[in-house]
């Protein structure tokens, strides 16, 4: 049985494809000397189950030690029915630096453990040919690298967990014609009741056109064409008839079916792909963040996206969907996808279930710690590159309502311009350029380095609701709680009146079944009882719900993750407390929503 057999790119679907998950040859390369030792040209000594990483038990290896480099090898037969077309080999994610060879010839390279890349096998493989794919993944232990929550010590500690090396998402291939569609960008325009769909094509040919058809359950809604031989990325404008307009929202996550065709000069379809779209808007009005022009309090939960058997890889597609169901059952309407670019299948389920999402980058790993406190963060240019790949992949998902390129990049603010300043500004500006339709925060929690960024936030793990309320109360006069260094030194530029939320709080330490000798942690003292926990949770949440200038919050966290035992659910997703009471504490109206209703929002 092939693991994780579902289509990995659900917003750009072609009918013909081949899943390459399953058993591959595998070999560790502790000294990263494999190329010199001939690993490219010979059979490898072991086996692994792709797409699970060698550290994960589901890979069949389960070795948590460091892997400086690892090698993969398998043979693949291209179906004869693909004759006359090019073959694209796709890797949804490989951690961290990957090189791919096909029949001994280098076919591609990619840096970054969270984003997909492809190799064009034209000239490397022919239909009916059995070809050999070899992958080397390098994952150095030291130096600045976007690692997310992966520990740089042997054992996980604090908020750092086990590592992921090598292939950890689906590998697959598909045939495409010589002139073919590239991934579209779907932009909803609620004000005009329309979609703008940008459709890049691989090459312009005289007379070629792109055609986009939008449908709902009653059939075709609108169809439009644009020439594909003039612009590098043709755009199709699709105004919707008013009687077929249905907005996407958490209450009604309506999705339109989208079909995209590339036509030749005779009107013959030479390439086609299926997608979907949600018609919804995100905007800002004063302190409020609006969805479809209405104030929407964002009751978010921090989701780390880790699993006991698969680490960063979900054991099944159902597990991705189930995490959203668990969050909704507890009263949350969305999530910060924390320190990781989640599998795109997660976003597919969020789109279909009306679950609000902040897309985030796994930027931890820039704090090299070797320099002075004013220059400890050393993100590289590849942070910007990888983040833009993530934004491009996920641009068209209606569930995403905000972008968060950096998180807790603590560093003193002073009169020197540092690498952190450059990269923070670069990632913020690049995000705004790539997607002007969603709010962007420059860095969650700290260090805010972009004056007037779309939103501003803080992280506060004070456990006493009364003290927490006093800390949060400054928002009323424009001086909200701002994270600062242990010596009181500033990490961030001042707040400038934009929408504000407490994007991490709670984290209540609770595991009623933990044996005394178990090493675990959470924030504050453990509650004496579940009743104690429930009162604390309701008190903390109430502070934020009752603030008419607070547009949302993000509670830490959905599940326990290894030693961090402060989840609403256990690591295995089983219940450990009365979720109905957690839900009830959250679902009373938020003050900002009531104020918006009174003001006609």
Residue ranges, comma separated, of all CATH 3.20.20.80 domains in the chain are 282-596
Distances (CA, A) of 139 to 49, 53, 318, 339, 390: 19, 12, 29, 17, 20
> What is the distance between the terminal CA atoms of the chain, rounded to a whole angstrom?
52
And the tokens for 244?
């077929």
For 405-445, the pLDDT digits (tens) are 999 999 999 888 999 999 999 999 999 999 999 999 999 99
The CATH number of the structural domain formed by 18-176 is 2.60.120.260
**Cα gap 58→188, rounded to integer Å:** 39
Q: Please give the Cα distance from 364 to 374 (Å, whole number).
A: 17
- pLDDT digit string, tens, across residues 242-251: 999 999 999 9
In angstroms, what CA-CA distances link 288 with 253, 284, 496, 555, 596?
21, 6, 14, 19, 8
**CA 438 to the chain's CA centroid:** 15
Q: Place 191 in a pLDDT band, splitting at 50, 70 and 90.
A: very high
**Cα distances (Å, whole numbers) of residue 339 to 109, 295, 353:** 24, 27, 22
Question: CB neighbours of 302 closer than 8 A, spacing ≥ 6?
Answer: 335, 336, 338, 504, 554, 555, 556, 557, 558
For residue 200, pLDDT beyond 80: yes
517 — pLDDT class (breaks 50, 70, 90): confident
Model confidence at 599: pLDDT above 80: no
Q: Is the pLDDT of residue 371 over 70?
A: no
pLDDT score of 183 more than 80? yes
pLDDT given for residue 125 in this prediction: 62
- Which of these ranges, 82-96, 324-338, 359-373, has the smallest mean pLDDT? 359-373
State yes or no: pLDDT of 455 exceeds 90: yes
**Full-model pTM:** 0.96
Mean pLDDT of 359-385: 88
137: which 2 tokens? 């993944």
DSSP 8-state secondary structure symbol assigned to residue 395: T
Which tens digits make up the pLDDT trace of 298-338?
999 999 999 999 999 999 999 999 999 999 999 999 999 99
Nearest CA-CA partner of 438 in 424, 459, 452, 453? 453
CATH among 3.50.50.60, 3.10.129.10, 1.10.3720.10, 3.20.20.80 for 282-596: 3.20.20.80
Contact assessment for residue 187 and residue 278, using Cβ atoms and an 8 Å cutoff: no
Q: In whole angstroms, what is the distance from residue 99 CA to residue 525 CA?
A: 47
Assign 123 a pLDDT band (cuts: 50, 70, 90): low
Sign of CA dihedral 163, 169, 171, 176: negative
Ranges of CATH 2.60.40.10 domains, the chain: 185-277
Please tell me the predicted confidence (pLDDT) of residue 163: 95
**So what CATH class is 185-277?**
mainly beta
Q: How many angstroms separate the CA atoms of 360 and 404, rounded?
A: 5
The Cβ of residue 478 has, within 10 Å, a number of other Cβ atoms equal to 12
Decide if 56 contacts 112 (C-beta within 8 A). Answer: no
With beta carbons less than 8 A apart as the criterion, state whether 534 and 546 touch: no
State which H helix or E strand residue 105 sits in: strand 105-111
Angle at 496 between CA 495 and CA 499, to 5 degrees: 85
Domain with CATH 2.60.120.260 in the chain: 18-176
pLDDT of 597 reads: 67
- Average pLDDT over the chain, rounded to an integer: 95
């Amino acid at each position: 049985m092939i693991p994780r057999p579902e289509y990995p790119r659900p917003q750009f679907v072609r009918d013909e494809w081949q899943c390459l998950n399953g058993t591959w040859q595998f070999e560790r390369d502790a000294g990263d000397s494999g190329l010199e030792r001939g690993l490219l040209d010979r059979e490898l000594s072991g086996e692994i189950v792709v797409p699970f990483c060698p550290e994960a038990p589901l890979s069949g290896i389960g070795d948590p030690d460091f892997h400086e480099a690892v090698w993969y090898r398998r043979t693949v037969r291209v179906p004869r029915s693909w004759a006359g077309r090019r073959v694209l080999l796709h890797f949804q994610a490989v951690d961290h630096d990957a090189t791919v060879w096909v029949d001994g010839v280098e076919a591609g390279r990619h840096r970054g453990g969270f984003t997909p890349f492809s190799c064009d096998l034209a000239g490397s493989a022919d239909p009916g040919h059995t070809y050999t794919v070899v992958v080397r993944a390098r994952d150095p232990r030291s130096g600045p690298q976007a690692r997310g929550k992966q520990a740089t010590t042997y054992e996980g500690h604090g908020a750092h967990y086990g590592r992921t090396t090598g292939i950890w998402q689906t590998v697959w291939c598909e045939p495409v014609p010589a002139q073919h569609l590239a991934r579209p960008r779907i932009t909803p325009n609620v004000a005009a009741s329309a979609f703008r769909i940008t459709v890049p094509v691989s090459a312009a040919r005289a007379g070629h056109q792109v055609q986009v058809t939008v449908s709902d359950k009653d059939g075709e809604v609108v169809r439009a064409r644009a020439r594909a031989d003039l612009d590098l990325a043709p755009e199709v404008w699709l105004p919707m008839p008013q009687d077929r307009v249905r907005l996407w929202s958490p209450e009604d996550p309506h999705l339109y079916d989208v079909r995209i065709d590339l036509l030749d000069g005779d009107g013959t379809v030479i390439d086609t792909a299926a997608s979907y779209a949600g018609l919804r808007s995100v905007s800002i009005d004063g302190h409020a963040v609006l969805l479809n022009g209405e104030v929407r309090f964002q009751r978010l939960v921090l989701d780390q996206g880790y699993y006991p058997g698969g680490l960063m890889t979900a054991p099944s597609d159902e597990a991705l969907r189930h995490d959203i169901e668990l969050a909704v059952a507890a009263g949350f309407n969305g999530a910060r996808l924390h320190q990781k670019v989640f599998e795109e299948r997660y976003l597919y389920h969020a789109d279909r279930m009306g679950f609000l999402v902040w897309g985030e980058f796994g930027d931890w790993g820039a704090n090299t710690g070797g320099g002075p406190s004013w220059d400890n963060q050393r993100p590289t240019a590849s942070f910007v590159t990888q983040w833009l790949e993530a934004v491009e992949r996920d641009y068209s998902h209606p569930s995403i309502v905000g972008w968060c390129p950096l998180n807790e990049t603590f560093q003193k603010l002073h009169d020197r311009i540092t690498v952190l300043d450059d990269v923070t500004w670069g990632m913020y500006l690049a995000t705004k350029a790539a997607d002007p339709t969603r709010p962007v925060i420059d860095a969650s929690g700290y260090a805010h380095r972009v004056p007037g960024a779309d939103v501003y936030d803080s992280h506060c793990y004070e456990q006493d609701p009364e003290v927490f309320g006093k800390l949060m109360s400054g928002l009323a006069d424009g001086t909200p709680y701002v994270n600062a260094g242990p010596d009181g030194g500033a990490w961030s530029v001042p707040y400038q009146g934009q929408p504000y939320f407490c994007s991490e709080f709670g984290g209540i330490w609770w595991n009623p079944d933990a044996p005394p000798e178990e090493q675990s942690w959470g924030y504050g003292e453990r509650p004496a009882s579940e009743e104690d926990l429930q009162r604390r949770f309701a008190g903390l949440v109430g502070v934020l719900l009752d603030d008419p200038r607070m547009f949302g919050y993000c509670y830490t966290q959905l599940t326990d993750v290894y030693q961090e035992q402060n989840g609403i659910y256990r690591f295995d997703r089983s219940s450990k407390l009365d979720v109905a009471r957690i839900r009830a504490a959250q679902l009373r109206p938020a003050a900002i929503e009531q104020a918006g209703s009174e003001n006609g929002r």
